[in-house]
Every structure is written in C-alpha cells, then in structure tokens.
Chain A
Amino acid sequence: MDLRAKSRELLESGAVKAVIGFKDGTMGARRPVFVRQADKAAALVFDEGCRQNLAAYLTRNEVQKMGRVAVAAGPDTLRAILQLMAERQIKEGDVLPLAMEGTEAVELPTAQAVEEHLALKAKELPAADRELLARLDAMTREERWAFWQGELARCVKCYACRNSCPMCYCGHCTMDCNRPQWVPVPSHALGNLEYHMVRAMHLAGRCVECGDCGRACPVGIPVHLLTFHAEESVHRQFGQRAGASSRLDYALSTFRPDDKETFIR
C-alpha cells in the first residue's frame, strides 16, 4: 500500500500513535517528520533524498513516550532497528517498520519479517566511499596520518555525528563523563583524535554503515569512514555484521578460542 494511505490507516485505526517519515524541506532536501494525525499523512514523501536513518529517533525519551510508532524505513534503517533490538533498546512490538519499496510501504511487524526482507538486500557501501577507503588503504601510514589530521582539524565537536547515529543512544556518553574528564572537551588536535577514535571503537561491531554520521557533519569530514572501517574489520575477522539479526551477539563482548590474529607475540 502507498505510504500515505498506509499511514492514514495505521493512525486512524490507532495501531500506531505516530508515523516517522520524511517530508519536503529546504532547498530540495527531505526532512524527518512525525505524523501523529491521519489528516497530516499527505505530507509524507519517500524517495532517494530520504537518506537519514530514522531509527535514531526510536530510543529517544520523547518518542518512546508516544507509544507504538511506525517508521518509513529503507534497508539501513531496518538494519538499525534489528541492531537496536539485538541491543535490547527497543522491543519487537513497540515499533512497526514499514519497509519502503518505491513509495509502497510494506508492514514488517516482526523481527523475523525484517530479517527475511533484508536477506534479499545486499549491503554494499556507496561507490564514493569504497573509492576513498581504497585510496586510504593505498596510502602510507604517514599519509593516512596527514589525511586524518587535516580532516579532523576541521572538527568543532558539535557531535552531530554522534547525535544522528542510531546506535549512539547512551543517555550518558563517555564524551560527557567529566568526573574526571576522560576525553578532552576542546576540539583541539588531541581532543578530536581521541573523540573520533572512541566513537569508531564504540561502534565497531554495531555500525550498520548507513553513513548518517558523515552526512550530518557540517564541515564535511568523512567520519563515517572510521566507523565503516571498524565495522568492516569486525566483519572480516569475526564474520558477522551489525544489523543482520535481532539476536546478534556483540562481537566485542564475545570471543572464539580460535580467533586468528598475526601480531601477538
């Protein structure tokens, strides 16, 4: 069923209290919208411009208080929903994912339905990101250092990357731990390096590779490559991907006795 009609139906029947989707924004952009009345569903749109990972809203207090919500979801949002379930941040029945096929919305009421739907979608990083990752791989270590120092010098620590990430739901982020201060607050060179290092490590094995952190960055740092890289490292070495299942064990809180590495002496 068409997203607008489906949303109207869900809101009218009281099956959900809100539909989180997209509507027209400024300068051709799409922006997230919370539709809570059936007669507002006509504002909903869904197209290639709707790239934000709406799963980021599902763990917010304000949204959890609303009751059951539906989410107009592309594959990355669905992966994030499964990962949030695996991390026990949302319950299966509390969220109704609407898988988007064009403007058609398909209800996926169970985690299993989401998993089956996703099984048909291959995860592939965008070509531009693959290119940049390959370019970084081909660099010498010194060049990579220079690249990241040049990029991170632009960081103003607005935390748009963190706050737009569906997996950064911690009520008290380690960045905010200040008794004592663990990671420096200022966006000087050391503060920026440590912040982005922590962010990437805390997302390793949890990042669904939606790239929202990079799109959110106001100064255009490709911060998403850091989490992509960490996630790919987990996938390559431990053979699992975040967002694949609602019952996934966190790769870094488990182990296999025969995990293979080449560097420990």
Chain B
Amino acid sequence: MTDAFEPKITAFVCNWCTYAGADLTGTSRIKYQSNVRVLRLPCTGRIDFMLLAKAFARGADGIIVSGCHPNDCHYTSGNYHARRRWMVYRDLMDFMGIDTRRVTFSWVSAAEGARWAELVNEVTTSVRNLGPYAEYKELALAGVE
C-alpha cells in the first residue's frame, strides 16, 4: 500500500439519528479520522441506491450508509424500507462485481456519538487497506472514442 493514499469516504446519513449522532461526536470533542464527507438526507428511506453508485462514479473509495435503529425511525418505517432495498441492492452489487467491502451499512442513533467515531475509523482503515477503487475510477474513462 502506498503511504500517500487517503481514501475518500462518502457517508449518506439520515437527519434524525446518524446526523445527530455525528453532531454529538463533534460536541463531545471526540477525534476521528477526517476522510469522511457527510451527506445528510431526511431519512434512510430517501437514500436511493443510485446515490451510492453516483458516489463511486465521482471518486469515492468507500461509502457509509447509516440511519436510525429499527423501531426508531422518525417517520416510523423509512429505515425498514431502506433495509429491504439494501438487502437486494447489496446482492446485486456483488453479482455485478462491485466491491461490497467498500460499502458499510449501519445504524447509529443520535445518542451514539462515540459509535459514529468508531465506525468512521474502522471504515477508513479498512478502505485505506483496500486501496483506491481503481476499477470504478477507470470506468469514467472507458468506452469513449
């Protein structure tokens, strides 16, 4: 692994739990790796699977998708719907040969500031070890004469 490589991690999080949790990480002054760019959406139910593909297409090396624990959704069932979609989409990604080790799904509540820091650190380390997502980056240039 090259020493210089710092992965870009895109995190899609829900407004009510994980975003608030990440906020708590900050207000608790917990230090964690700075590779993650957080994108806040109303609910995990709003996180279209294509957003993940778009993140890879724009150069992400890893992705975190996170929202409220089951039963805690602000909109009652958005996370349940999201979970079904992830279950199918993750399967499909793997079938198409996309590296699912680079996509982490998790539940992080508004109270779990420390857990958020831990998650980001773990994901960053593991994606750093995987290296840049070269296969996907090459796509952007292929097939144009």
A–B direct touch, CB within 8 Å, in complex? yes
Spell out A's residues near B (CB within 8 Å).
136, 141-149, 153, 182-183, 186-194, 196-198, 200-201, 204-205, 226, 229-230, 233-234, 237-238, 251-257, 259, 261, 263-265
B97 in contact with A188 (CB, 8 Å): no
A189 in contact with B143 (CB, 8 Å): yes
Q: What is the bound-complex CA distance between A105 and B100, given in angstroms?
A: 48
- The majority secondary structure among interface residues of chain B is helix
A141 in contact with B139 (CB, 8 Å): no
A190 in contact with B139 (CB, 8 Å): yes
Tell me whether A201 and B92 are in contact in the complex, defined as CB-CB below 8 angstroms, given that A148-B97, A149-B97, A190-B57 are known contacts. Answer: yes
Interface residues in B16-72 by Cβ distance below 8 A to A read 49-50, 53, 57, 70-71
| A residues in contact with B71, CB < 8 Å | 257
Say yes or no: is B107 at the interface (Cβ < 8 Å to chain A). yes
A130–chain B nearest beta-carbon distance, Å: 15
Question: A189-B139, A201-B89, A254-B84 given. 4 additional CB < 8 A pairs?
Answer: A136-B95, A149-B97, A189-B141, A238-B84
B84 in contact with A145 (CB, 8 Å): no
Please name the 9 residue pairs, one residue from A and one from B, whose CB atoms are nearest each other, closest first: A145-B97, A188-B143, A189-B142, A144-B97, A255-B80, A189-B143, A265-B106, A233-B91, A189-B139
- Please tell me the number of chain B residues within 8 Å of chain A, measured between CB atoms: 39
| A residues in contact with B83, CB < 8 Å | 255, 259, 261, 264
Tell me whether A226 and B81 are in contact in the complex, defined as CB-CB below 8 angstroms, given that A193-B139, A265-B104 are known contacts. Answer: no
B105 in contact with A265 (CB, 8 Å): yes
A69–chain B nearest beta-carbon distance, Å: 33
A252 in contact with B92 (CB, 8 Å): no
Q: What is the bound-complex CA distance between A255 and B78, given in angstroms?
A: 10
A262's nearest neighbour on chain B, judged by CB, is: B87
Q: What is the bound-complex CA distance between A146 and B104, given in angstroms?
A: 23
Of A192, A204, A253, chain B has the most CB atoms within 10 Å of the CB of A204
B140's nearest neighbour on chain A, judged by CB, is: A190
Say yes or no: is B111 at the interface (Cβ < 8 Å to chain A). no
Q: What is the bound-complex CA distance between A230 and B99, given in angstroms?
A: 17
B65's nearest neighbour on chain A, judged by CB, is: A264
**Which of B50, B85, B104, B142 is within 8 Å of A252, CB to CB?**
B85
A133–chain B nearest beta-carbon distance, Å: 9
| B residues in contact with A229, CB < 8 Å | 91-92, 95
Q: What is the bound-complex CA distance between A223 and B142, given in angstroms?
A: 20
Q: What is the bound-complex CA distance between A92 and B42, given in angstroms?
A: 39
B87–chain A nearest beta-carbon distance, Å: 5
Of B77, B83, B95, B119, chain A has the most CB atoms within 10 Å of the CB of B95
A183's nearest neighbour on chain B, judged by CB, is: B50
A256's nearest neighbour on chain B, judged by CB, is: B80
A194 in contact with B87 (CB, 8 Å): no
B16–chain A nearest beta-carbon distance, Å: 17
Q: What is the bound-complex CA distance between A187 and B92, given in angstroms?
A: 21
B139 in contact with A233 (CB, 8 Å): no
| B residues in contact with A187, CB < 8 Å | 143
| B residues in contact with A198, CB < 8 Å | 50
B57 in contact with A197 (CB, 8 Å): no
| B residues in contact with A153, CB < 8 Å | 142-143
| A residues in contact with B105, CB < 8 Å | 263-265
Of B100, B135, B139, chain A has the most CB atoms within 10 Å of the CB of B139
**Which of A192, A204, A254, A255 is within 8 Å of B88, CB to CB?**
A204
A236's nearest neighbour on chain B, judged by CB, is: B91
| A residues in contact with B86, CB < 8 Å | 261, 263-264
Tell me whether A234 and B88 are in contact in the complex, defined as CB-CB below 8 angstroms, given that A187-B143, A252-B81 are known contacts. Answer: yes
